[in-house]
């Protein structure tokens, strides 16, 4: 996977997930936006770790950057056989230098991903506050709606009790939609 593909993937995956989740969960758009930003931050941090774990890969180095190779001292005439132990030591040093150069070339790529991750986390802070405020107001509205529905249910229960008392006392039931007034029990002797 190239650097461009990694950058593109860190943008496309959160966008697609946010669109799908936004389509499915339309009431929680503020939490979906926050989740997409945090996913973007996590993917960029993961890409930076991936680059640093594979720092010796040629994808992270600029074009034309070649690795160093150690000269063979064992092929030197007359003293070559005495210099053979130095060949392996020299190859180890050159290998270390190549690893250092590869890490040095991969580090800016990883830092780019980490910078994007940091910016996403910085954007996430106000989004957390905004999502919390929106959720608070939605909860307050749900509580108010619940209180209104509860008051309606209580009122209907009172009316039902009044109708039951009137039926038990022998009064006719008023037509639907008429306001019921509790007149109490009928006095004896009138009627």
**Cα(87)–Cα(81) distance, rounded to whole angstroms?**
10
| pLDDT of res. 165 | 86
DSSP string spanning 42-73? Answer: HHHHHHHHHHHHTTTSGGGSPTT-PPP-PPPS
Sites in the chain below the pLDDT cut of 50: 191
Report the pLDDT value the prediction gives residue 191, as an integer from 0 to 100.
Answer: 45
So what's the pLDDT on residue 99?
Answer: 79
């Amino acid at each position: 996977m190239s650097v461009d593909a990694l950058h593109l993937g860190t943008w496309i995956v959160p966008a697609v997930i946010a669109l799908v989740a936004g389509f499915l969960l339309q009431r929680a758009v503020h939490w979906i936006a926050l989740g997409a930003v945090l996913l973007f931050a996590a993917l960029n941090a993961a890409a930076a770790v991936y680059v640093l774990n594979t720092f010796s890969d040629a994808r992270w180095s600029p074009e034309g950057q070649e690795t160093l190779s150690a000269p063979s001292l064992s092929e030197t005439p007359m003293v070559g056989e005495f210099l053979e132990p130095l060949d392996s030591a020299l190859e180890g040093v050159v290998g270390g230098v190549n690893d250092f150069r590869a890490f040095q070339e991969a580090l800016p790529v990883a830092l780019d991903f980490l910078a994007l991750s940091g910016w996403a986390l910085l954007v996430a802070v106000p989004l957390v506050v905004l999502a919390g405020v929106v959720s608070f107001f939605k909860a307050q509205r749900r509580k108010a709606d619940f209180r209104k529905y509860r008051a309606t249910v209580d009122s209907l229960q009172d009316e039902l009790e009044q109708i039951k008392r009137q039926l038990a006392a022998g009064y006719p039931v008023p037509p639907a939609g008429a306001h019921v007034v509790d007149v109490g029990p009928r006095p004896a002797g009138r009627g």
